[in-house]
Chains A and B, each alone.
Chain A
Amino acid sequence: MSSVKSQFIVIVGCGRLGSYIAGILSRDGHSVVVIDAKKSAFDALSPEFSGFQIEGDATELGVLREAKAEKADILIASTDNDNVNLMVAQIAKQFFNIRKVIARIYEIKREMLCKNRGIETVCPSSVVGDIFLNFLSDSLERN
């Protein structure tokens, strides 16, 4: 087990991103629950994953209750649908009072809806864009 305190983490959406994060956090000794509307999505989990799987629509309060969201330290909304992530993240804050809530949002303009709601967002195209620009910075400076 790692030296950091084990956290209870709910991950909504078990696609490439969700299953990747779930595998690593579970390997590192955290208790992880993954939720996905499709049962087949759990096939993407690595053998190291030892947490729980819940099949259901996480925009329904009942599904998050089943995941014991009220006890969670962290919720990660990583479905491939911005609106689902926005809704789940807001419910996590407002109804379950989860301390740290992170949502993947593809569309930069939708990120603004998370302002002042205590939700952190990750926008893949700006993250990747920054990495690209970083790679380019050397050659751009030389010119």
Chain B
Amino acid sequence: MQIMIIGAGKFIYFLAKTFISKGYRVTIISKDNAECQWLSKRLKAVIVNGDGSDPRILEEAEVKKMDAVLALTPNDEDNLTICQAAEHLFGVSRTITLVNDPEQEKVFRQLGVKRAFSLTTVLSGLIERRVESEDVINLIPIGEGEVNLTEIILKADSPVIGKRLKDTDLPGDILVTCILRNRKAIIPRGETVLLEQDHLVVMTLPQSYGEAIRRLTGES
């Protein structure tokens, strides 16, 4: 896998480091000459000094070979041009970007950049969905948040322990799609009995999320 990251700052450094440790080949484009030198001393990556929104720089950095391009500059307009240039001028199929203003997610999608995420939306979503609960360790919004996938751990005080799934009487818009028990995945049936320390992968609609947590963990 070959990944190109355009941007600056600590976030880029740690992101690149993570990708490299997974065996991916990483190219970084940064406008900041001093930062490029700093990065090239610390990372086994191709570092290019230049404006990543300039198609000539992208071409020079061999964007055509990339499996994914991450546009992470602080400016929405630069990120838009980077994603559009990578996709339309160089045929890269996967471009991902962060936008500042949450309203820009919609703008980017309409302008053809499908994977634009706003940290504001992600973080405020985490607060609103009460993920601080320690029984809930993972939450993935699907689509634009129409559906959530959540991983819930059943602790000793959960009211559903020892019950068959069909006797837990969960509403129709809460679905236990998978149980991870001792690192083995079980596709549950109505007869499946829930045990302590089961990790339930639960699909819910946003409005029934709170109810799912209550029913499965006993928390109010």
Contacts and interface: CB of A to CB of B under 8 A. Distances in A.
Q: Do A and B come from one complex?
A: yes
Given A109-B55, A109-B56, A81 B89 contact: no
A61 B85 contact: no
B55 A107 contact: yes
The number of chain A residues touching the other chain, given as a range, is 10 to 19
Contacts of B84: 86, 113
Contacts of A82: 53, 81
A66 interface: no
B76 A59 contact: yes
A60 B103 contact: yes
Contact of B54 (A59, A62, A84, A107): A107
B100 to A, nearest CB: 10
A36 to B, nearest CB: 15
Contact of B78 (A62, A83, A109): A83
Interface stretch (A24-32, A45-53, A88-96, A129-137): A88-96
A110 B85 contact: yes
B77 A86 contact: yes
A61 B111 CA distance: 13
The 7 closest A-B pairs by CB, nearest first: A83-B77, A109-B55, A87-B77, A83-B81, A84-B77, A83-B78, A87-B80
